[in-house]
Structure 1
Amino acid sequence: MSTLSVNNPVAFYAPLKAPTYPTPSGDQKIAQHFWQCLELCGWTPVLASQLRSFSRHGELKHQKRLARLGKWQANKLIKHYLRLPKVQRPTFWFTYHLYHKAPDWLGPRVSQALNIPYVIAEASVSEKQLHGPWRYNFRATLAALHQANAVISLNPKDLTGIQPYCQATDVCHYLPPFMALPEQADLPQSTIRQQLAQQYGIPENQPWLLSVAMVRPGDKLASYRYLLNCLQSLQNVPWQWIIIGEGQALNQLKKEANTLGTRIHWLGKFETTQITPWLQTCDLMAWPAINEALGMAILEAQMYGLPVITGATPGVCSLFSDTPTQRGGLIIPQQQPENFKHGVYELLTQPKLRQQLSQQAQQWSHQHHSLFAAAQQLKQWLTPLIGNPD
């Protein structure tokens, strides 16, 4: 628990995964982006707790144990904050990502006790849980939404689902997914590519196709298999498939991909800085995004001007222009493998198309999905609740 001896402090909490969680993920990355966004607004986020309220299997006993632990921590926080001078107390409470598997047992209680605004970013409601295994957590999520002074969603589909449970429709806001603009590379792209080709034994003169995702059972593995089937039927054209990610299903995927031999390069788990050179030098990103909520790796690729071919889900579509001629990639409706294969073939064989999409990807993402654009919007919504930071 940190002392809030800073200017315009904000109590920041992520019940699913704290920004400091040791295993990297898209969810954690979004939490970090919100942290940066709040800083850019003029507030100072301070991590209120690292309590993980995640209940994987929905056992009622486990949910109630976490609820008791959360209430105990909330009471401890309240006592701590009330001992501080008012200027050092949280200006507001900010919770990132809550849903029936990871409710917020801290924020509503602390906010009410301190009489400060309660803000939620990224909530989702699954109504089938009203009588399901997570019904205890589900009711807590609905109570948090009803108390929230502002609810911010990066996914338009989630926004529609949560509106009926909020105080009023005007507390709900859609914020396009965002991230910081990439920094300029120290070396020319051709030099970086040459170095990577030598280091990893990748033919430099063939198109490099990139996928960045955990290799875990479920939707991620389904996306990898979808793409694997696509590439198995495109062996008559040159390409090299670069996979960044690891997980429980990695060995299974490697067995299934055995027929493609040295065309696949399994790079394993990388930190963000290690992924950057590949975003700078690959020719396209391919990811079917089966049941993908957002797909921050897709947005990051566009930030670097990497053309993308992906599957159409509401969250993924929100990363692209509604006008097809302005999109930095190809969006293929789910369950259309032949169309997806044709799109991959087009991108592999048409360098001019890739160049055109690259320019559109950078232009659109930098204009509509930057950290600065998000901070401006967030400040506009939250300032009436909280006041303008110094």
Structure 2
Amino acid sequence: MTRVAFLAPLKPPDHPEPSGDREMARLLLRALHRAGCEPSLASRLRMLDRHGDAGLEAALEREARTEAEALLSRYAGLPRPQRPDLVFTYHVHYKAPDVIGPALARGLGVPYVVAEGSRAPKRANGPWARFHALAEAALDAADLVLVLNEGDREMLERARPARQALAEFPPFLDTEAWPIAPRRPRDPAGPARLIAVAMMRQGDKLASYAALAQALAGLPEAVGWTLDIVGDGPARGEVEALFAPFGARARLHGLVSDRDALAALYAAADLLVWPAVNEAYGMVFLEAALQGCPALAGACGGVPGVVADGRTGVLTPPGDVAAFRDTLAGLVAEPARLALLSRHGPAFVQGRRSLAGAAERLRGLLSTTLEAASPRARAAGPA
């Protein structure tokens, strides 16, 4: 069994705050288990700098290097069969670089794998310059980069070291962990039932909520709709203010962490609506599709990897509120089209975006990476 030292510098999988990043970290741990690996969380250090704070970055880098040294010392005290065979890090970018992973892989003489790495050359100078350099160094050190967001591929390819492999690895869902709620057919005479599911925080999430409110406000009066909003966070007040003009048509449910309740909300909706401003991909699109709820989304980043345009939903140009509004009006007026999109969703997730499928792909990719690792490099680990 392959022993894996797992790291998630953006947000550890046991962090108390729910988010898509936390969920994907947890899913990757499950996929590693199912792929025949034995993963263990090597560190809970969160290397996150939201604002480009040079002092914070220096302190976090020192803490990470100290922790890496301590981990290497601990691993050196273990018999070789008990040491990690591979280091696996989820999500490396200029706001959350990985300092520990490359040091562990180098010290142990084992392969280093990154899932969802992104390069941002425009951040080479400015407030995140140091963290950008650390993220670039980590990505340069990786033997394998799993591309979850196809929007990252161009830059990853452009800077890829000759020995590094890039592999498509679309986001996925543990379908076995989700109940399947019965779909509630739409009343042809009633309004379209819309749903939005997202955390409420400043930045891109709030920008998506604002774009959604703008699109709804621009719909013709004849278009009937209701909107269920699921989510919570520090920007809840701003979100409430955005949707207050719609009165009872917009209902805020707060955070819904119970999957039975959330599945029922998806199953009761005709369409998930989310402009996806600067969205990496969005796990909610897979969750909704599993319940037969199609999506209307902005085609930003990796969103096309989780919304099959024309099959499980419809994509509009990123940032184009008018196109989003007009497409929404058209979909609401075509119940038969929504019903067709609904039918494709469950099979798409269960067949192409499931935990089982991700684990099988991961098994093959890691096996190839381990086989390609130099025996001489592997022997370079602590005796």
TM-score (norm 2): 0.89
Q: Secondary structure at 1:236's aligned position in 2?
A: coil
Query: In the alignment, which of 316, 319, 323 is matched to residue 339 of structure 1?
Result: 323
Q: Is 1:218 equivalent to 2:203 in the alignment?
A: yes
Could you say if the C-alpha distance between residues 169 and 344 of structure 1 is closer, same or farther in structure 2, counting changes exceeding 3 Å?
A: farther
Match of 2:10, as an amino acid? L
Conservation of the 8 A alpha-carbon contact between 1:163 and 1:169: no
1:198 corresponds in structure 2 to none
Q: Secondary structure at 2:154's aligned position in 1?
A: helix
- Alpha-carbon RMSD across the aligned residues, in angstroms, is 2.4
1:39 corresponds in structure 2 to 33
Query: In the alignment, which of 343, 359, 369 is matched to residue 375 of structure 1?
Result: 359
2:302 corresponds in structure 1 to 315
2:75 corresponds in structure 1 to 81
Q: Secondary structure at 1:228's aligned position in 2?
A: helix
Conservation of the 8 A alpha-carbon contact between 2:183 and 2:291: no
Could you say if the C-alpha distance between residues 373 and 226 of structure 1 is closer, same or farther in structure 2, counting changes exceeding 3 Å?
A: same
Counterparts of 1:170 and 1:141, CA distance in 2: 16
Counterparts of 2:231 and 2:7, CA distance in 1: 27
Counterparts of 2:193 and 2:105, CA distance in 1: 50
Counterparts of 1:370 and 1:12, CA distance in 2: 21
Conservation of the 8 A alpha-carbon contact between 1:63 and 1:137: yes
Conservation of the 8 A alpha-carbon contact between 1:10 and 1:91: yes
Query: In the alignment, which of 104, 114, 117 is matched to residue 120 of structure 1?
Result: 114
Conservation of the 8 A alpha-carbon contact between 1:215 and 1:245: yes
Q: Is 1:245 equivalent to 2:231 in the alignment?
A: yes
Could you say if the C-alpha distance between residues 272 and 135 of structure 1 is closer, same or farther in structure 2, counting changes exceeding 3 Å?
A: farther
Cα deviation digits, residues 123-161 of structure 1 (max 9, x gap): 111111212212112111121112111111111221221
Q: Is 1:281 equivalent to 2:268 in the alignment?
A: yes
Q: Is 1:329 equivalent to 2:307 in the alignment?
A: no
1:299 corresponds in structure 2 to 286
Q: Quote how far apart the aligned CAs of 1:169 are.
A: 6.6
Q: Secondary structure at 2:337's aligned position in 1?
A: helix
Counterparts of 1:270 and 1:313, CA distance in 2: 25
Q: Is 1:69 equivalent to 2:63 in the alignment?
A: yes
Counterparts of 2:307 and 2:256, CA distance in 1: 26
Counterparts of 1:184 and 1:297, CA distance in 2: 13
Alignment of 1:7-26 (within 5 A): 7-26=1-20
Alignment of 1:162-201 (within 5 A): 162-168=156-162, 171-181=165-175, 185=179, 188-190=182-184
Aligned length: 368
TM-score (norm 1): 0.88
Gaps of 5+ in 1: 1-6, 194-203
Identity of aligned residues (%): 34
Counterparts of 1:71 and 1:170, CA distance in 2: 24
Counterparts of 1:89 and 1:272, CA distance in 2: 37
Conservation of the 8 A alpha-carbon contact between 2:190 and 2:224: no
Counterparts of 1:145 and 1:365, CA distance in 2: 29
Could you say if the C-alpha distance between residues 184 and 149 of structure 1 is closer, same or farther in structure 2, counting changes exceeding 3 Å?
A: closer
Cα deviation digits, residues 153-198 of structure 1 (max 9, x gap): 11122122123433327511121221122567477445xx9xxxxx
Match of 1:364, as an amino acid? F
2:215 corresponds in structure 1 to 230
Query: In the alignment, which of 50, 63, 85 is matched to residue 56 of structure 1?
Result: 50
Cα deviation digits, residues 36-64 of structure 1 (max 9, x gap): 11111110211111001112222222211
Counterparts of 2:2 and 2:320, CA distance in 1: 50
Counterparts of 1:144 and 1:258, CA distance in 2: 45
